[in-house]
Amino acid sequence: MAVRVSVIGASGYGGAEAVRLLATHPEVRLAHVTAEAQKGRPIADLYPNLRGFVDLVTEPLDATAIGGDSDLVIVSLPSGKAMEIVPELLERGARVIDVAADFRLRDPSLYPAWYSFTHTAPRYLAEAVYGLPELHRAAIRPARLVANPGCYPAAALLALTPLVRAGVVRRTGIVIDAKSGVSGAGRGGAAGGHGFSEANEDVRAYAIPGHAHTAEIEQELSGQAGGAGAAGDVRVTFAPHLVPMTRGILVTAYAPLARRLTTPEALGLYREAYAAEPFVRVLPDGALPQTKATLGSNYCDVAVRVDARAEMAIAIAAIDNLGKGAAGQAVQNLNLMLGLPEAAGLRVPALYP
Amino acid sequence: MAVRVSVIGASGYGGAEAVRLLATHPEVRLAHVTAEAQKGRPIADLYPNLRGFVDLVTEPLDATAIGGDSDLVIVSLPSGKAMEIVPELLERGARVIDVAADFRLRDPSLYPAWYSFTHTAPRYLAEAVYGLPELHRAAIRPARLVANPGCYPAAALLALTPLVRAGVVRRTGIVIDAKSGVSGAGRGGAAGGHGFSEANEDVRAYAIPGHAHTAEIEQELSGQAGGAGAAGDVRVTFAPHLVPMTRGILVTAYAPLARRLTTPEALGLYREAYAAEPFVRVLPDGALPQTKATLGSNYCDVAVRVDARAEMAIAIAAIDNLGKGAAGQAVQNLNLMLGLPEAAGLRVPALYP
Amino acid sequence: MAVRVSVIGASGYGGAEAVRLLATHPEVRLAHVTAEAQKGRPIADLYPNLRGFVDLVTEPLDATAIGGDSDLVIVSLPSGKAMEIVPELLERGARVIDVAADFRLRDPSLYPAWYSFTHTAPRYLAEAVYGLPELHRAAIRPARLVANPGCYPAAALLALTPLVRAGVVRRTGIVIDAKSGVSGAGRGGAAGGHGFSEANEDVRAYAIPGHAHTAEIEQELSGQAGGAGAAGDVRVTFAPHLVPMTRGILVTAYAPLARRLTTPEALGLYREAYAAEPFVRVLPDGALPQTKATLGSNYCDVAVRVDARAEMAIAIAAIDNLGKGAAGQAVQNLNLMLGLPEAAGLRVPALYP
Amino acid sequence: MAVRVSVIGASGYGGAEAVRLLATHPEVRLAHVTAEAQKGRPIADLYPNLRGFVDLVTEPLDATAIGGDSDLVIVSLPSGKAMEIVPELLERGARVIDVAADFRLRDPSLYPAWYSFTHTAPRYLAEAVYGLPELHRAAIRPARLVANPGCYPAAALLALTPLVRAGVVRRTGIVIDAKSGVSGAGRGGAAGGHGFSEANEDVRAYAIPGHAHTAEIEQELSGQAGGAGAAGDVRVTFAPHLVPMTRGILVTAYAPLARRLTTPEALGLYREAYAAEPFVRVLPDGALPQTKATLGSNYCDVAVRVDARAEMAIAIAAIDNLGKGAAGQAVQNLNLMLGLPEAAGLRVPALYP
């Protein structure tokens, strides 16, 4: 019997991508989709790709009703909104995957500093599992509440984890330069310089320094940094950029070497770390990641190079920000939580070209 | 037991898209992929989206061997090349879908005029079935040789057929203005002004008048024009344009009215014509087709409007040129020919955004 | 001594492009720039390309003060707003170029039908000169009030005028298929589906049939249609499309032949019509217009072909919608009105690539 | 009397942009343009934006004739070709600006290592002046031979020089992450993955580590590093990326602090360094560079931020790779060499949007 899944915030790009993936998921039945600002409309009017696939009409957000009528709820609201409804969803018996940042940081004091809000449901932070299966698969399976990673952190962590875990790079001086497609700004982000005319034929940096995803990256990398690893142990400079494409994130991470390392040795660390991963592809020698090879998919392509002259490791990861960076990742977590095959509904190659 | 399918010309965009679709097709096993210019390379090196999906290495084109070892062969070569190998493939027992133009025109004398070559296998033209299921489904099922429609004709015919069939528009004076993404020019088309720097931030017309697809459109529309319909009966002006996107064709067709007609009446003709079609969506009133709603899919979205002031019907169709315009269409034909569910491997919503 | 010119509505794309052109115009001094929604900000904060060129701060719209302190005012407001202030500007002694539609249609009854508003200053419609120099140069020079053409009409009229004027095409059944970059929707147009993520990798039709520019095109073509030409005499079907680029309009116009015509004969009509025009380039045989060849410039490239099989003339024109389609055109009109060299400040080749 | 200037390699993007700028330069007369592969064609056929501006026909490359008939020659050939003709051009009395890499590196032994060729005219390396006016203005004025900077180095050096010169950052561990539009790959670069279909909706890294521009950046930064500064003194990791736009480079450079530094202090260094520069704009507090603000212009926009948590300075620079990164820069150098106003022909604001 199909699992009943609801998507809260289905009019945003992340939520709509989750609906798209669930619409053809073999084990899932979509129960409810909500869209506060556009309720009462067929979701296929908002997302015309869904015509012929999903007949649901967007509902208002009633956490009590939806929580009681769903096995699992994917919450895709702006950061700061999920914490207001997740307790009720859990209370009603639903398991929850939050696609925003509300349950990613374990230390509640980080929210005022990085997100400018005070957490209203801090007791759930200890319970929440950071939903990157490559780091926390075992904990995700039984979790009631999974915090889906941010789009930038998903790519940055998959790029850097093998180096940090192996202790071959320093814990400070790490630079993460990220290039994102414009859909990362959300459907509402169309104003404010993200209109086509100004985002097209343009590259710009933004939120430098101090983007909120820095905290999440440091928390998780510190956790991977081994015995001595504590929160704040790893320090990174994170710089996001907007590039004129719709989907995709390319992260280029630069980590000063802690000891001598060759490119083949580095590559060996990645092959080992990701040998059994269904959605991480370590590229063969000679190839570098490109976002197009992941477009519309849940895959992450990674490569690593050592710049011996400069004693620097360079790790590169490409994802679809709405795939492995959001909705694809959420479905992978859903599969783990529900005991389904991890790749159910996700074994689709990217579009290329 | 899975059907053995081979793709000849797998290094081009159309062939590679066929490989992508067949890689996850539930009833197909990929047997051989060929790429004359790049033989001996893993197909996943040429198309990095296929990493983890297809292990095949590109082979040289040996029609005898491939024909003998395949149930069905998709031939995706430049026009004029398929006719050299299709007879041998058929001889060896394989059924064939030709994605190029070699078997689309029933009258061999049209090839020198429109394609600048003399047909070397004219006796197969009578046997070949024009592979647009919405027009020729019954004939496609048992066919040995199916001629997949051109990308522009696929969209143009789905746009105009209900009007022409109903006899509500004139048979002359029809204008077909088509806007295509750049992948229609093929992977080899990157030179000659199709490099990114010049195709980006540019729209241009080309091949006006006289694009070869004109012949194919007129042949099929004439066939739909009813009792009196003969080849050449319908005359169209066809004008293709290049727009700065990778995939997608939007056709806007203008047909002078033969009698009074309202938009709702016109819409009724479309709803009736396509009521049972799995891959044609007649848009609800108020919506107009956009290529993005078909991106990466086999869907065709259509709409129709009547400009009463000017006594003109305007029909619009959107497709992915590599989907319904090439490889998706080929897989739909393959399903019909093999007696599989028509939508097998193709029930995937477009990417949006 | 420099002429004092003000730009009302300088925060929009059209107004800002006028400021850009006037910033380096040899005979002009920018007096005032207004931006109701963002007043009190350096214009260079809104348009960073102007840093180092324009120090002006946006002012509120005070028609009395600006009219009294300017020799000429370029009004670049949404349609329906200019008619509220243009009388006062003229009253104060300024000459006016209106970039919107408020003074383009000579018949006031057309405004409710095409623009959904009733004209509040109809007595100025008779005085206003339609500002397409290729059609009305002599009348523009002494005019107090010039109505700058719409972006689509500018291209459509330059494409069709030689054919219509010569009487070689019919006056009905003309189809104008236009493809526009997204900046045509304005800076405010970033919402509503014109955000990057949805406009990118997409082509769509809109406002079919019934776009307001239809009226303007028919008025002017009727005027060119010769002795018998009266308003409404020429009937066109006009269909605009949005393509994923920032600037540029390509118009492909299809006109049924009224008598036998060859491509060389048609070309002769264009060469003759535009022989002395500083900003219209009739392309040599073999070349077709592309918007990129006009990007950032005031040029219009045109070509014509005859489709003898279908007895159809095809005329194509490319412009930059913010250049010849708006601000460049306005500066050309300004030069004429002020007795300056017609190309002053406008002799700049397009960017290519 | 106008100065006679020739452009060798005018069919490439850099050469063609030089022709575009010189076509309206008030003090220059274009003498010869060459294009080996497409000689004998009007340059306006190759670059349709030049129609109505340049009547010249491309000639074969005859260094003796061109050198003797030109006051100054801009050489825009692939690296390794200029060294074969520059001696003859100088011999014939012409002054030369080489847009390629042949005379940028002072140490001839670096050419085999970074460019895979042995220099055939090493004695000119000592004479050549590195043509970045912000670093070497005084030496450029009288120079016979100027080596125009590479596109990436131009942006990287303008981003980093104030920090390196002031000694506030370390000389090792510097990371330069660069994002370039596709025109940087040249017109010939349209093949090999730079076709529109694959470069569009894609971001990728390439040539990591080891891009040849690394050597040039290190040479010049070492020169700025003060008393102790010697070649090789400064070590950088340079990583170029391709983004889906035609023009533009954004460099984000990360330099570990050598001592405590605040953002305002850093900004002060930039304001001081570039106070008198006509083409470098230090952005006001709160603004970050975007390539669009430089599109089609010779401007470079820079900003600097200090990430105090990570003890890292972040400097960002935006240019048009064909402007300040190639042809615009060349014209600025030409103006200096010829004693013209430095901004002659270059005082044009960028296109925006």
Query: How do the domains of chain C map onto residue ranges?
Result: 3-149+325-337, 152-321
CATH match for D3-149+325-337 among 3.40.50.720, 3.40.50.1580, 3.40.50.410, 1.10.1740.10: 3.40.50.720
- Taking the Cβ of residue B239 and every Cβ of chain C, the question of whether any pair is shorter than 8 Å is answered with yes
Query: Which residues of chain D from 288 to 307 reach within 8 Å of chain A, CB to CB?
Result: 288-292, 295, 305-307
pLDDT of residue D228: 56
How far, in Å, CA of C238 to CA of C217, rounded? Answer: 9
CB A329 within 8 A of CB A321: no
What integer is the mean pLDDT of B101-123? 97
Note the pTM of the prediction, 2 decimals. 0.97
What integer is the mean pLDDT of D88-112? 98
Clarify whether B151 is annotated catalytic: yes
How far, in Å, CA of C149 to CA of C142, rounded? Answer: 18
CB D148 within 8 A of CB D329: yes
Find, among C136, C135, C81, C71, the residue nearest to C103 by Cα: C81
Instruction: Give how far Cα D295 sits from Cα of A201, A312, C183, C311, D248, Å.
Output: 9, 33, 16, 44, 7
| Whether residue D185 has pLDDT greater than 90 | no
Q: How confident is the model at residue C193 (pLDDT cuts 50, 70, 90)?
A: low
Give the phi and the psi of residue B7 in degrees, each rounded to 5: -120, 115
| Whether residue C128 has pLDDT greater than 60 | yes
pLDDT of residue C259: 96
Portion of chain A with pLDDT greater than 70, in percent: 96
Give the phi and the psi of residue D129 in degrees, each rounded to 5: -110, 135
- Taking the Cβ of residue B246 and every Cβ of chain A, the question of whether any pair is shorter than 8 Å is answered with yes
pLDDT of residue A189: 60
Name residue D347's amino acid.
Answer: R
How far, in Å, CA of A155 to CA of A67, rounded? Answer: 31
| Whether residue C246 has pLDDT greater than 60 | yes
Comparing A336 with D227, the larger pLDDT belongs to A336
Mean pLDDT check: name the lowest of A19-23, B121-125, B315-319, C229-233.
C229-233
The partner residue sitting opposite C290, judged by closest CB among D48, D246, D295, is D48
| Whether residue C228 has pLDDT greater than 60 | no
Comparing C168 with D1, the larger pLDDT belongs to C168
Terminal alpha carbon distance of chain C: 37
Contacts of B177 in chain C (CB under 8 A): 175, 177, 252, 254
Q: What is the mean pLDDT of chain A?
A: 95
pLDDT of residue C39: 87
How far, in Å, CA of B94 to CA of A208, rounded? Answer: 60
Instruction: Give how far Cα C285 sits from Cα of B164, B240, C161, C189, D244, Å.
Output: 35, 18, 19, 38, 33
The string of pLDDT tens digits covering residues B11-24 is 999 999 999 999 99
Q: How confident is the model at residue B216 (pLDDT cuts 50, 70, 90)?
A: very high
The string of pLDDT tens digits covering residues C304-319 is 999 999 999 999 999 9
**Cβ within 8 Å, pair D287-C45:** yes
pLDDT of residue A118: 97
| Whether residue B194 has pLDDT greater than 80 | no
- Taking the Cβ of residue C194 and every Cβ of chain A, the question of whether any pair is shorter than 8 Å is answered with yes
Residue A102 DSSP symbol: T
Best mutation site among B203, B257, B314, B321 for testing chain C: the one with the most C CBs within 10 Å? B203
The partner residue sitting opposite D353, judged by closest CB among A198, A237, A310, is A198
The string of pLDDT tens digits covering residues D232-254 is 699 999 999 999 999 999 999 99
Comparing A192 with A196, the larger pLDDT belongs to A196
Best mutation site among C47, C49, C180, C196 for testing chain A: the one with the most A CBs within 10 Å? C196
- ∠B291-B297-B302 over CA atoms, to 5°? 45
How far, in Å, CA of A13 to CA of A187, rounded? Answer: 6
How far, in Å, CA of B323 to CA of C224, rounded? Answer: 45
Residue A315 half-sphere exposure toward CB, CA atoms < 13 A: 27
Comparing D271 with C227, the larger pLDDT belongs to D271
Best mutation site among A17, A49, A194, A196 for testing chain C: the one with the most C CBs within 10 Å? A196
DSSP letter string, A297-319: SS-EEEEEEEEGGGTEEEEEEEE
Q: How confident is the model at residue D226 (pLDDT cuts 50, 70, 90)?
A: confident
| Whether residue B4 has pLDDT greater than 90 | yes
| Whether residue A133 has pLDDT greater than 70 | yes
Comparing C74 with A227, the larger pLDDT belongs to C74
How far, in Å, CA of A291 to CA of A151, rounded? Answer: 13
Strands B95-98 and A280-282, bridge-based pairing: unpaired
Q: What is the mean pLDDT of chain D?
A: 95
How far, in Å, CA of D345 to CA of D297, rounded? Answer: 11
Class of domain A152-321: alpha beta
- Residue listed under structure tokens 């997608």: B248
- Count Cβ atoms within 10 A of the Cβ of residue A297 and give its class: 0-12 exposed, 13-18 middle, 19 or more buried: buried
What integer is the mean pLDDT of C134-163? 98
Q: One of C22, C74, C90, C151 is an active-site residue; which one?
A: C151
CB B245 within 8 A of CB D200: yes
Portion of chain D with pLDDT greater than 90, in percent: 92
Does the interface predicted TM-score (ipTM) exceed 0.90?
yes
How far, in Å, CA of B350 to CA of B294, rounded? Answer: 5
pLDDT of residue D301: 98
pLDDT of residue A186: 83
What integer is the mean pLDDT of D198-217? 96
What integer is the mean pLDDT of C65-70? 98
Portion of chain C with pLDDT greater than 70, in percent: 96
Q: How confident is the model at residue C192 (pLDDT cuts 50, 70, 90)?
A: low
Q: How confident is the model at residue B39 (pLDDT cuts 50, 70, 90)?
A: confident
- Residues in chain A, total: 353
